[in-house]
Amino acid sequence: MSARERSSTIVVVMGVSGSGKTTIARSLAERLGVTYSEADEFHPPENIAKMESGVPLNDEDRLPWLRSIAAWISEQERADVSGVVTCSALKRSYRDLLRTGNDGVWFLHLAGSREVISDRLAGRTGHFMPASLLDSQFADLEPLESDEVGYTADVSEDAEVIVDRSLAALKAAGRREADLT
Ligand X SMILES: O=C(O)[C@H](O)[C@@H](O)[C@H](O)[C@H](O)COP(=O)(O)O
Ligand Y SMILES: Nc1ncnc2c1ncn2[C@@H]1O[C@H](COP(=O)(O)OP(=O)(O)O)[C@@H](O)[C@H]1O
Contact 107, 21 (CB under 8 A): no
Burial class (CB in 10 A: 0-12, 13-18, 19+), 126: exposed
Contact 23, 124 (CB under 8 A): no
Verify binding: residue 85, ligand X, rule CB under 6 A.
Answer: no
Q: Which of ligand Y, ligand X, none has residue 62 at its interface (CB below 5 to 8 Å by kind)?
A: ligand X
Verify binding: residue 70, ligand X, rule CB under 6 A.
Answer: no
Q: Can you tell me which of 81, 111, 131, 159 binds ligand Y, judged by CB under 6 A?
A: 159
Part of the chain binding ligand X (CB under 6 A), chosen from 15-23, 25-33, 73-81, 165-173? 15-23
Binding residues among 116-155 for ligand Y as defined by CB under 6 A: 120, 123-124, 155
Burial class (CB in 10 A: 0-12, 13-18, 19+), 164: middle
3-state secondary structure of 56: coil
What is the Cα–Cα distance from 118 to 85, expressed in whole angstroms? 23
Part of the chain binding ligand Y (CB under 6 A), chosen from 74-82, 140-148, 157-165, 168-176? 157-165
Binding site for ligand Y (CB under 6 A): 15, 17-23, 86, 120, 123-124, 155, 158-159, 162
